[in-house]
Amino acid sequence: MTVDTVAPTVVIGTDDNALKIGDVAHLTFTLSEASTNFGSGDVAVTGGTLSNFAGSGTSYTADFTPTPGSTTTATINVAGGTFTDAAGNNNTAATQLSMTVDTVAPTVVIGISDTALTAGDVATVTFTFSEVPSNFSAADVSYDTTSATLGAITPTGDPKVFTATLTPIASINDATNIITVGTAWQDPAGNAPAATTNSVNYTVSTGDSTPPTVTITSTPLGNTVGSTSTVTFQFSETVIGFNPGSVTDVTLTRATLSNIVQVDGDTWTATLTRTANGSVKVDVVAGSYTDSALNPGAAGSLGPLNPAGTAGEPINLALTGSSDGQTVTVTVKDMPSGWTIDGATQNADGSWTVQTNAVHELTVTTPASFAGAAVLDVSMTWTNADGTTGSASIADNVEAYAPGSPIFAWSGDDVLTGSSGNDLFVFSQPIGNDTVHSFDAAADQIDLIGYSGFQSFADVQAHTADDANGNAVITLADGQSITLDGVHSSALGAGNFVFDQTPVVNNPGTMTLGDGSLLPLSGTVNNSGLISLNSTVDDTLLQVIEHGVTLEGGGQVVLSDSAANIISGTGPDVTLINIDNTISGAGQLGDGMLGLDNRGTIIASGTNALVIDTGGSVVINSGALAATGSGGLVVAGGVANSGMIEADGGNVVIHGQVTGDGDATIGNLSKLEFGAASSTDVTFAQNAAGTLELDDSFDYSGRISGITNDDKLDLNDILFGVGTTVAYQASQDGSGGTLTVSAGAHNATLHLLGTYDANGFKLADDGQGHAVVTYNPAEFTLTGVGGGTSEFAV
């Protein structure tokens, strides 16, 4: 009998007692006796996982993989009684196998004490490791050596911390810099970092510290919606980050930008399109761009330049820009005869040139006999700090009022200049941010019109303060202010202000608005002379400001034969009252922003139309509205007519109702069209060969007289076709009759004055499918025969 009472044993071995990232320990299990029931389930594991268990008899193997991201010691154990030998004896417990584990990747944090390095700065760079690095050196560190220098890397008292100095290189402007530590170094276990490590960004600005500026200029922009011009953004040097199409960079008032082109690093151009009536502004937001030295850029604005002053005395040209303080060459073209620029020389081509380092002080002087406005073509060139050439081109609208006349601010930003006399500066709601030069606090006055919160000097004082330069600033409303250059607020008194006083302008001579110019007027205009709007290409605007203009004196207002002449207001509630002047020519009268009360004469005399558009209000006419030119007269709305409407050589088209007890005449091959129900009587002149066109003949209640065989009645609301008839019924007293045109259930009844042959009225197609009534009487008429009817079916 064989006896075996010896318990089997097991010895655990490993080929790696110190495990790091990526290591796998190969384990051995050696039994003292063969076993048939020893398996992987008999092995207890901590700190990792067992895999690939294999073997038989007395020899077994397995792989051990440590837990990632751990520093916990791993153990391998086989407990007693987990397997048996051939005799059935249980094993004794094995001696536990322990292995050190470090599967945590080391890290480093890079700190920089100063991330905005300028000349003279030295920053400290600190490398702080999560574990003591075993082989860290300067070879592990990379950075941009063209913008800064990193000193020797020095250990500190803490073996996990190293430092170095970072010194910027002179004359460098670099916005993007980092320090990088690579992956070649290891921790004590031999683990490498998982990835490279970057510092935060630091900047190097050891070049210039002067902020860049921008000058915004544009070619002339028309006053009608849809007008376009080319706007130029000229920076003082190459800039970074500017985007004219972004609302965070450029803000627009009553306009849009398109066709944006970057010409070079300091110049952009774009197409500026007007989207509404009123002052157009383009503003570059401060800080929306930088130069290469990362200096934040200054704000810039484009508003129309409309300097105003007194004829015969210096008028500030309102020039500003990034060029101030530098020597600038200023060239002014399109100067009218007799005008001069202070300190400038006239060139052979008629232009004027001056060099100055204070463009904001430049002035122009007109002849004392001049009154009106003209647009000067101003160009400026200078050398920027970085050596590039800066330039600006400006359309400068100069307004010169006759000596003794009020000086008016227009409805946008403005610059006004006082004279040597007693001046009245008129500011009518709305204005912009205005500046007054040469204001004499001892003699001059300001008239505030339409500002309900300003009725006394106390109101003015409550809204007045000196700016940083000691200039008095009167804040009237949001975006509306008056700055009195060189005048302290303490110098102002009650005698300097009047409120809602009606200004008076006397014009016994000629007031001229040149092509593309603008001139504001308000109050009573006693015009016994001539006011001339001389547009040839560009919009030329006589702007009526609050409360409006009363035009008297028996003079003339002559608009050249151009559609770009405009007489308009600052809103549809502003009114032009023409007492006795004759307004003639072509262009826009109202432009949707002006009421009209005509007691004088308005004549459309050009080959281009004269368009009256009062923005929805009815034209009041107790005078004469006439068309003698082939361009004709167009009234966009209705007319309350107690005067005369004449189509005499030019067509008159009125789109709204014509009411009142006034009259209308048609002569000289002309047409009069009523676009809505109307009641005004119409007379055809002798041999007129004219046409009365009714868009609403059913509701026309006026009387028609003077029809002869060359005249027509064109009825746009009646279709010509089968079943359309015309019939005339004379009145019993023989004074006239009724003409009925029928189209099925629709009848138009027109009242005629005079004696007509009932058989003479006939229908035809006007060429556009509408019924037109012609009159072709017999060669002789039997006087006294009335009551006859004639009816023609088509």
Q: Per residue in 82-100, pLDDT tens?
A: 999 999 999 999 999 999 9
Question: What tokens does 120 get?
Answer: 């003279």
Taking the C-alpha atoms of residue 351 and residue 347, their distance in angstroms, rounded to an integer, is 5
pLDDT of residue 119: 87
Residue keyed to tokens 């398109």: 258
DSSP state string for 359-389 = GGG-EEE--TT--EEEEEEEEEEEE-TTSPE
The answer for residues whose C-beta is within 8 angstroms of residue 578's C-beta and 6 or more apart is 551, 596, 597, 598, 599, 600, 602, 623
**Number of Cβ within a 10 Å radius of residue 186:** 18
- Which element (helix H / strand E) includes 457? helix 457-462
The pLDDT tens digits for 532-557 are 999 998 889 999 987 799 999 999 99
The pLDDT confidence band at residue 182, using thresholds 50, 70 and 90, is very high
* Residue finishing a domain among 40, 68, 102: 102
Shared domain for 544 and 653, answered yes or no, is no
Q: What is the structure's pLDDT at 780? A: 38
Strands 154-155, 108-112: pairing is unpaired
Q: What is the pLDDT of residues 634-657, one digit of tens each?
A: 999 999 999 999 999 999 999 999
Q: Which amino acid is at 482?
A: I
Q: What's the burial of 718, exposed, middle or buried (CB within 10 Å: 0-12/13-18/19+)?
A: buried
Same domain for 696 and 665? yes
Q: What are phi and psi of 653, to 5 degrees?
A: -120, 120
Residue 53 has pLDDT above 50, yes or no: yes
The DSSP symbol for 511 reads E
In this structure, the answer to whether residues 757 and 641 fall within a common structural domain is yes
- How many C-beta atoms surround the C-beta of residue 437 within 10 A? 22
Question: What is the pLDDT confidence band of residue 111, given thresholds at 50, 70 and 90?
Answer: very high
Q: How many domains does the chain have?
A: 7
How would you classify the pairing of strands 480-484 and 433-437? parallel
Mean pLDDT of the chain: 92
- State whether residue 161 is helix, strand or coil: strand
Note whether 702 and 649 are same-domain residues: yes
Tokens 């010509």 sit at which residue?
Answer: 720
Residue found by looking up tokens 């000229």 in the block? 234
Distance (Å, rounded) from C-alpha 633 to C-alpha 652? 5
Query: CA 29 to CA 614: how far, in whole Å?
Result: 106
Residues 395 and 422 in one domain: no
Interatomic CA distance for residues 435 and 483, integer angstroms: 5
Of 127-131, 304-308, 445-449, where does mean pLDDT reach its minimum? Answer: 304-308
d(CA 777, CA 757): 6
Select from 45, 49, 12 the least CA-distant residue to 31: 12
In a domain, residue 612? The reply is no
For the segment 757-769, the average pLDDT, to the nearest whole number, is 94
Pair 754, 730: CB distance under 8 Å? no
Q: What is the DSSP string of 246-297?
A: -TTTEEEESEEEEEEEEEETTEEEEEEEE-SSS--EEEEPTTS-EETT-PBP
- Burial class for 51, CB neighbours closer than 10 Å (0-12, 13-18, 19+): exposed
In a domain, 4, yes or no: no
Residue 221 has a pLDDT of: 74
- Please name which of 214, 241, 261 lies closest in space to residue 384, comparing C-alpha atoms: 214
pLDDT, average across residues 666-680: 97
Q: Are 130 and 217 in contact (CB under 8 A)?
A: no
Instruction: Give pLDDT, residue 304.
Output: 65
Query: How would you classify residue 297: left for phi > 0, otherwise alpha for psi between -120 and 50, otherwise beta?
Result: beta
Distance CA 308, CA 316 (A): 8
CA distance 111 to 358: 48
Distance CA 38, CA 56 (A): 8
Secondary structure string (H, E, C) spanning 37-49: CCCHHHEEEECEE
Are residue 262 and residue 197 in the same domain, yes or no? no
Residue 792 pLDDT: 31
Q: Could you tell me if 639 and 785 lie in one domain? A: yes
Tokens standing for residue 241? 């980050």
**Exposed e or buried b for every residue in 206-231, given b needs 16+ CB within 10 A?**
bbbeebbbbbbbbbbbbbbeebbbbb
| Residue 214: partners with Cβ closer than 8 Å, 6 or more residues away | 233, 234, 235, 236, 284, 289, 297, 298, 299, 300, 322
Q: Are residues 432 and 571 in the same domain?
A: no
Shared domain check, 773 and 685: yes
Query: Do 278 and 254 have their domain in common?
Result: yes
Indicate left, alpha or beta for 484 from its phi (over 0: left) and psi (-120 to 50: alpha): beta
Confidence of residue 387 (pLDDT cuts 50, 70, 90): confident
Count how many residues are written for the chain: 794
With 0-12 / 13-18 / 19 or more C-beta atoms within 10 angstroms meaning exposed / middle / buried, residue 35 is buried
Longest dimension (CA), the chain: 169
User: Is 588 part of a structural domain of the chain?
Assistant: yes
Question: Which residue range is the domain that position 350 belongs to?
Answer: 304-404
Model confidence at 565: pLDDT above 70: yes
| Run of H or E including 653 | strand 652-654
* Cα 653 from Cα 494, distance rounded (Å): 52
Point out the domain boundary residue: 205, 235, 264. 205
Give the number of other Cβ atoms within 10 Å of residue 782's Cβ: 9
H or E element: which one contains 517? Answer: none
Residues 6+ apart with CB under 8 A from 284: 214, 216, 233, 242, 249, 250, 297, 299, 300, 301
pLDDT greater than 90 at residue 281: no
User: Which of 70, 102, 134 is the last residue in one of the domains?
Assistant: 102
Residue 338 domain flag: yes
For the CA atoms of 782, 783, 784, 786, the dihedral, rounded to the nearest 10 degrees, stands at: 60
Query: Would strands 25-35 and 10-14 be described as parallel, antiparallel, or unpaired?
Result: antiparallel
Averaged pLDDT, 140-162 = 96
**Residue 600 located in a structural domain:** no
Q: Residue 769's CB: how many other CB atoms inside 10 A?
A: 11
Structure tokens at 373: 């406005």
- Judged by DSSP in three states, 699 sits in helix
| Domain assignment present for 599 | no
Query: What CATH number corresponds to the domain at position 150?
Result: 2.60.40.1220
State residue 794's pLDDT score. 30
pTM of the model: 0.69
Which CATH number do you get for residue 311? 2.60.40
Please write the tens of the pLDDT for every residue from 341-379: 999 999 999 999 999 998 889 999 999 999 999 999 888
Q: In sequence order, what are the residues at sequence separation of 6 or more whose Cβ sits closer than 8 angstroms to the Cβ of residue 498?
A: 424, 445, 446, 447, 448
What CA–CA distance (Å, rounded) separates 57 from 32?
Answer: 10
User: Would 200 be classed as within a structural domain?
Assistant: yes
Distances (CA, A) of 440 to 95, 457, 476, 557: 109, 17, 21, 34
190 and 218 share one domain: no
Contact 644, 665 (CB under 8 A): yes
> For residues 327 and 345, what is the distance between their CA atoms, to the nearest angstrom?
16
Q: Tell me whether residue 605 is in a domain.
A: no
How high is the pLDDT of residue 75? Answer: 97
Q: Which residue has the tokens 């082989």?
A: 135
> How much is the average pLDDT of 576-605?
97
Same domain? For 640 and 767 the reply is yes
Quick one: tokens of 453? 């919160």
**With pLDDT > 90 as the criterion, what percentage of the chain qualifies?**
79
